[in-house]
């Protein structure tokens, strides 16, 4: 084990250790499908702390990734949709409609 990484979590039954990462945001692949990105707070495998990884990488190393990222995406979509709607209303108001 190198100094930059931590070993995969030791399992205690079916429980998994929480991923040493913070939700960063969403990225779209070339097909338009969105996937979550996380920034590591500690090294995982060959990825040093500060690296950006996807959920699959964290789960592949045996970590639990909370669903909060899914909630964040839903909230983000609602906020963006609300902002677009307000902008459209403001634009129509400026045009006198």
Bridge-based pairing state of the strands 34-40 and 52-54: antiparallel
pLDDT at 5 over 80: no
Question: What would the pLDDT profile of 10-69 be if each residue is shown by its tens digit?
Answer: 555 556 899 999 988 888 888 888 888 999 999 999 999 999 999 999 999 999 987 755
pTM: 0.58
Q: With contact defined as beta carbons under 8 Å apart, do 26 and 20 qualify?
A: no
C-alpha dist (Å) from residue 74 to 11, 26, 66, 78, 82: 31, 11, 15, 6, 12
pLDDT at 95 over 70: no
């Amino acid at each position: 084990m190198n100094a930059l990484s931590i070993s995969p979590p030791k399992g205690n039954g079916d429980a998994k250790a929480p991923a040493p990462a913070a939700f960063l945001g969403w990225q779209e692949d070339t097909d338009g499908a969105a996937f979550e990105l996380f920034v590591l707070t500690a090294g995982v495998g060959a990825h040093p702390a500060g690296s950006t990884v996807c959920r699959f990488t964290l789960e592949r190393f045996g970590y639990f990734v909370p669903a909060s990222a899914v909630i964040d995406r839903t909230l983000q979509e609602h906020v963006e949709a609300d902002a677009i709607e307000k902008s459209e209303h403001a634009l129509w108001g400026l045009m006198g409609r």
